[in-house]
Chains A and B, each alone.
Chain A
């Protein structure tokens, strides 16, 4: 066999929501060339094995976002991903599945309505009073464009959205793609709805504070946009623009400064008390008692007036740096 090609058997998820109760996996044996893409493999299944195999495809240039699938759980833009690379990574044993199995309509085709609803919810457009007959263009400088941090490159393929574990558990969560869009328009200097958008993405359950920080979105994005970086920026902007209100999540973020100023370390007991408030502590009592029994925490921890914390060396340096570097307030 030519070393530039490899004969492999790949598996594909097959399902028709109109006729099937459960999905199945079918195997297809084919010759794969060194320059072929996952999209070429899907084409081979359809053209050479089974014409009923269904998937979305359009541009073949990594720009329309239609052909996102998963290969062995890895978010993959089929028209951009070299097949041999994945065969090497997964030891010649690959399974092509839709981006979201639970949303499958037919084979690789999923119902993406949840994605578009979330997208629409963040007002993904510039809101501005614009002269209907402008005499000049509304120009963006390079530095104004750079401030968008490539968030404008999103092709709405859904790779990050359907890789996000927070969204999998919490259907209210807006998810990384919608939050990236929120950042894209909020960071646009022509836009006037920034504060409103920051309030939308502040909501408990839906907004940025429900991100679990797993970085799956950054790993999944075929355009290397790094959605979690934008989620971080939205957190910062909520404090900068005074949208952040005091709640368990914001006190938890801000409480780090309080601990670090006192000890250099995070005071693990104090941060929970400070974030939850004394009344909110009842939720943690059972766990606290168990941790105490194991010697993980001590009865003095978090009790006001008793300083039971270790301190870092040269704590005065850290205190000074906080005083001269802090830019935000809750």
Chain B
């Protein structure tokens, strides 16, 4: 296989509250021989909230991020579902509306950039599966995850709505997503089948509609637990933050004791590939997760 090479859009959380997401992503890429260029120039994607305030500004800033991947001539990969959706929505809007593209480029010209539309935008999960290949990942497994029942939690913005993602999501169906399940199986873990795997975690209304947010997170976690999950895995750091850091509050709202480590997708892969404890960064979780490292090798 020729060496895979990508421009990584880290997003804000990987640079702040989830350093373990960035370190495990880079460790996985390193183990698999994937070359990563971190887009240090990239700004926040707006996370749908800037879009609510000022849609045009959000398009300009996202287009600027994509420009830097275009300059490298590489596919821009994301490690956050919300970064993925908002970047892909800007790309889709600009590629299909020449008038909007011209208006955005008029602004970008002021800082010496031009959006062309030459780079694809893809979540790391799907590049691993589509481009690196599950069989190739399987060959690299050092620590089979056979000790764990793992609940895949897909996160809305990677799977819905289908038309916003086009072919960039492995042909994933929003009602029957399979990518994470297949990745778990490739790492020899046991995927947990539960009906909330493709539902919403409530993160985006955490501040203004706390109750809604916590019920949604709670329903999903309880469903995973009731189907014997030892841990949950998600490709989205926002789902991770909601479910990991607010676990206590969520448990109170749904009336259950919830103790469920929520791993980032790259952490799970890093664990199976035999990356170091530091790279996987389980110590950065609020819900105790460090034990997973020793349990994996037990």
Contacts and interface: CB of A to CB of B under 8 A. Distances in A.
A318 B43 contact: yes
A165 B200 contact: yes
Which of B15, B43, B162, B209 lies at the interface centre, i.e. has the most chain A CB atoms within 10 A of its CB? Answer: B43
Interface stretch (A12-20, A29-37, A264-272): A264-272
B135 interface: no
A219 B162 contact: yes
Contact of A328 (B12, B13, B54, B283): B54
A312 B209 contact: no
Given A266-B47, A327-B57, A291 B245 contact: yes
B196 to A, nearest CB: 10
A291 B17 CA distance: 8
A128 interface: no
Contacts of A107: none
**Main SS class of interface, A:** helix
B124 to A, nearest CB: 19
A73 B207 CA distance: 29
Interface in B120-163: 156-157, 160-163
Contact of B16 (A74, A204, A268): A268
A326 B57 contact: yes
B45 to A, nearest CB: 9
Contact of B207 (A90, A165, A252, A310): A252
Contact of A321 (B85, B107, B215, B248): B107
Contacts of B202: 212
A256 B160 contact: no
Interface string A289-301: 0110111110000
B17 A272 contact: no
B157 to A, nearest CB: 7
A239 interface: yes
A137 B46 CA distance: 43
B111 interface: yes
Contact of B161 (A90, A165, A215): A215
B53 A215 contact: no
Given A215-B156, A235-B53, A296 B17 contact: yes
Given A170-B209, A296-B245, A236 B176 contact: no
A253 B17 contact: no
Interface string B48-82: 11111111110011001000000000000000000
Contacts of B216: 165, 169, 212
Contacts of B111: 314, 317, 320-321
A252 B208 CA distance: 9
B285 interface: yes
Which of B175, B176, B245, B283 lies at the interface centre, i.e. has the most chain A CB atoms within 10 A of its CB? Answer: B175
Interface in A281-326: 283, 286-287, 290-291, 293-297, 309-310, 312-314, 317-318, 320-322, 324-326
B42 A327 contact: no
Contact of B204 (A205, A213, A312, A317): A213
Contacts of B108: 321
Contact of B110 (A209, A212, A313, A324): A324
A290 B285 CA distance: 9
Interface in A57-93: 72-74, 89-90
Given A219-B161, A265-B15, A294-B285, A327 B174 contact: no
Contacts of B195: 73
Contact of A90 (B41, B52, B176, B283): B176
B248 to A, nearest CB: 8
B23 to A, nearest CB: 12
A23 interface: no
A275 B52 CA distance: 15
Interface of B: 12-13, 15-19, 40-44, 46-57, 60-61, 64, 85, 107-108, 110-111, 113, 156-157, 160-164, 173-176, 195, 199-200, 202, 204-205, 207-213, 215-216, 245-246, 248-249, 283-286
Interface of A: 72-74, 89-90, 165-166, 169-170, 204-205, 209-216, 218-219, 224, 226, 228, 232, 235-236, 239, 247-250, 252-254, 256-257, 259-260, 264-266, 268, 272, 275-276, 283, 286-287, 290-291, 293-297, 309-310, 312-314, 317-318, 320-322, 324-328, 330
Q: Which 8 A-B pairs have the closest CB atoms?
A: A215-B160, A218-B161, A235-B52, A214-B200, A249-B208, A317-B111, A256-B50, A253-B53
Given A256-B49, A314-B111, 15 more contacts: A166-B205, A170-B211, A212-B213, A247-B208, A257-B53, A257-B54, A266-B12, A283-B210, A287-B286, A295-B284, A297-B16, A312-B40, A321-B64, A322-B61, A326-B54
13 contacts: A212-B204, A212-B212, A213-B48, A214-B200, A216-B200, A253-B49, A253-B50, A257-B53, A264-B44, A268-B12, A296-B17, A309-B16, A318-B43
